[in-house]
Amino acid sequence: MNQSKKDIRSLTKLQIEEFFTLKHKPKFRANQVYEWLWKHRVLDFNLMTSLSLDDRTLLHSTFSINSLTLHNYKTSLDGTVKFLFQLDQNKVVEGVLIPHLNRYTACISSQAGCSLACKFCATGKLKLYRNLSAGEIYDQVFLINEFTLRKFKKPITNIVYMGMGEPFLNSTNVLNSITHITSKQGLNISAKRITVSTAGIVKIIKRIADLSPKFNLAISLHSANDTIRTKIMEINKSNNLKDLALAIDYFYTKTKIKPTYEYILLNGVNDSTQDAKDLIAFCKKTPSKVNLIEYNQVSNTPYRKSSQSSTKIFMDLLEKNKILVKFRRSRGEDIGAACGQLATQNKK
């Protein structure tokens, strides 16, 4: 990463326009540069052939283009692909491609590591190394999409910010990455196909609601009981369920986008009939839907996945109470690519 020059991908299109204006250059040059950067992911100013040699030299002398690169990838027996992306010299982050029928979902990271330390999650054991830039987040999408086009002859269909890190603790870069991904001068992927998952940062949920986003919101809930949720998710100490419910309702009122509650079923922890009733009550506060998730084993934790019978009773109770619910089975567990397993343990 070049630290001596400013990364041009950290600038907005308006800021690039301002740069050219200050240099007595036409504003439309900014549109050209923006497309080279975000539609084509050109990482060398010399390859921006619609610009004059003088303009390319000016850009090269002023800016750098920082990016991440694909380190390697592994394919699961079920077809899930885990990617390791090189950041700094000794750091990688992970992304995942989940192919299912005609759906190709890219699961991407927003931070290297994570500061939240949820008890059941491998990523939380890493601690936080740093936030990813908007460009580094975008790069994951671009590179996974290139892989999907080569392997399946089709582009990715969906993007979920559910990889390493808490997206709303890196909200500026996450929102900027979504701008580049959805822009017609970028990847032109509809925001309706993007889901951002948060453990529930109340003030950021409200702040983003005021921006009228078009992407989907997922909440890593995992319990609708404050005592249980605090035991497994420390974030609940500062963002309790009452405040979280109010923030989610505010988001829905502003956007009319139904939140999805992600709920990992943990044997003997949050999978009782009472837990289901608590979740039903929470869901009825705001129009919503639920993804029940099969737990993926993480080493050095006491947690186990719920039994089939407990899972069925839990799900049936939700359905009887008119809660829209889906069950997500584990994918990519054999290569450490499943939900909660991303811990960059395979850097070879």
The dihedral region occupied by 131, where left means phi > 0, alpha psi between -120 and 50, and beta the remainder, is beta
Catalytic residue from among 107, 114, 118, 339: 339
Verify whether residue 136 is a known catalytic residue: no
Catalytic residue among 17, 35, 94, 166: 94
| pLDDT-flagged residues of the chain (< 50) | 1-2, 337-338, 340-342, 345-348
Per-residue pLDDT of 18-57, as tens digits, reads 999 999 999 999 999 999 999 999 999 999 999 999 999 9
DSSP state of 102: T
Catalytic site includes residue 294: no
Nearest alpha carbon to residue 77 among 265, 307, 330, 328: 330
Q: What does the pLDDT read at residue 337?
A: 46
pLDDT of residue 340: 46
For the entire predicted model, the pTM comes to 0.92
Strand partners, 266: 305
Instruction: From 222, 191, 206, select the one nearest 293 (Cα to Cα).
Output: 222
Instruction: Please give the backbone phi and psi of residue 28, each rounded to the nearest 5 degrees, phi first.
Output: -65, -15
pLDDT tens per residue, range 127-144:
888 999 999 999 999 999
14 CB contacts (<8 Å, ≥6 apart)?
30
Q: Residue written as tokens 């603790």?
A: 169
CB contact at 8 A, 48 and 309: no
Half-sphere CA count of 114, side-chain side, radius 13 A? 30
pLDDT at 332: 52
- Mention every residue, 6+ apart, whose C-beta is less than 8 A from residue 101: none
Residues near 96 by Cβ (< 8 Å), separated by ≥ 6? 80, 81, 82, 83, 106, 107, 163, 332, 337, 342
